[in-house]
Structure 1
């Protein structure tokens, strides 16, 4: 499947179209993989154009069947995602907490609507992720994780110890140490 017909339907400014309201029939499977390290690989070749990746990311959604799709008004293509489709590559403090930036340019306020949850990577590590949009989430890149850990606090809970931070009046867990693990 060539990308050009799909790209012709995408806003070049990279704004997020209403893909949650588009319900075209499945057009098929596209040979596109989003690797766990954030690379987008089309037909075995890593995509090198950030603008193209951003454009494609704006029409990506994750559906209840567990699959990921590139969606346009008239077509829908299933792709493969090895872990999470996005990576958090930067974090900065604003007046009420943290704002995260993904590798495709989304900015997410870490708050009650966008909390960290801990989930396992394909290699079995328990790492925070944050919801972004349309069922899509971003995994914390290692350097961002360590930056946040440096600013984190420790809290005790019935099952052990949590490491996390408060952002926009909401506690966000970066990791846990069970009481039995000592």
Structure 2
């Protein structure tokens, strides 16, 4: 669901982002302790030993210490251990979108299923991946470091309503503005063929 944020709403989101401190997992280099039978499904549900983890505070705790390393694998990291987990798609799901302003002055932000907030800008870009097998789009927003959130389908539909055409290097491109940057989802001809 898209929410048009008032200035107070955007300020509240900025405040929450500033106040939320995640552990500095990027600074920790403990020994690898093996893989754990823990999985994050594409819909954001966390599983342990095949059963969903129903306690949201526990999921939030784990989500604060997740890291994607250069080997392409996800780990839960503490100062003393590094444990491999499985992530089907992205570790987060963006479940709500907020909008302040319009056009080139528009600022978009998202809330994830673990209540992280992110403002879309050059450090937290949007991207669109197209599945080669079924041509289905998968939209993402970078939440922190190199961790992304898959944008939930209903929220993606709201995002698409905000998209516009922009001519870039003589080609019509389809995308959306946020924080003064245009996030290009692809050629108009390719998207609407």
Distance in 2 (CA, whole Å) between partners of 1:50 and 1:122 is 34
Aligned residue for 1:73, secondary structure, equals: coil
Q: State the match for 2:144 in structure 1.
A: 133
Quick check: 2:93–2:113 contact (8 Å CA) kept in 1? yes
Distance in 1 (CA, whole Å) between partners of 2:49 and 2:84 is 14
Alignment partner for residue 164 of structure 1, among 167, 170, 175? Answer: 175
Per the TM alignment, residue 120 of structure 1 is displaced from its structure 2 partner at its CA by 4.2
Q: How many residues align?
A: 170
Quick check: 1:128–1:140 contact (8 Å CA) kept in 2? yes
Per the TM alignment, residue 162 of structure 1 is displaced from its structure 2 partner at its CA by 3.1
Q: State the match for 2:50 in structure 1.
A: 44
**TM-score, normalisation: structure 1:** 0.83
Q: State the match for 1:58 in structure 2.
A: 64
Structure 2 residue ranges without an equivalent (≥5): 1-19
Q: State the match for 1:67 in structure 2.
A: 73
Instruction: State whether structure 2 residue 31 is matched by structure 1 residue 21.
Output: no
After superposition, the Cα gap between the structure-2 partners of 1:123 and 1:142, relative to the gap in structure 1 and judged at 3 Å, is farther
Quick check: 1:35–1:82 contact (8 Å CA) kept in 2? yes
Q: Which has the higher contact order (CA 8 A, sep 6+)?
A: 2
Distance in 2 (CA, whole Å) between partners of 1:142 and 1:89 is 9
Quick check: 1:164–1:172 contact (8 Å CA) kept in 2? yes
Per the TM alignment, residue 102 of structure 1 is displaced from its structure 2 partner at its CA by 0.9
Q: Which is richer in helix?
A: 2
Distance in 2 (CA, whole Å) between partners of 1:56 and 1:115 is 24
Structure 1 residue ranges without an equivalent (≥5): 1-13
Per the TM alignment, residue 176 of structure 1 is displaced from its structure 2 partner at its CA by 4.2
**TM-score, normalisation: structure 2:** 0.78
Q: State the match for 1:79 in structure 2.
A: 85
Distance in 1 (CA, whole Å) between partners of 2:144 and 2:91 is 11
| Cα RMSD, aligned residues only | 2.5
The 5 A counterparts of 1:76-115 are 76-94=82-100, 96-115=106-125
Quick check: 1:160–1:176 contact (8 Å CA) kept in 2? yes
Per the TM alignment, residue 161 of structure 1 is displaced from its structure 2 partner at its CA by 4.2
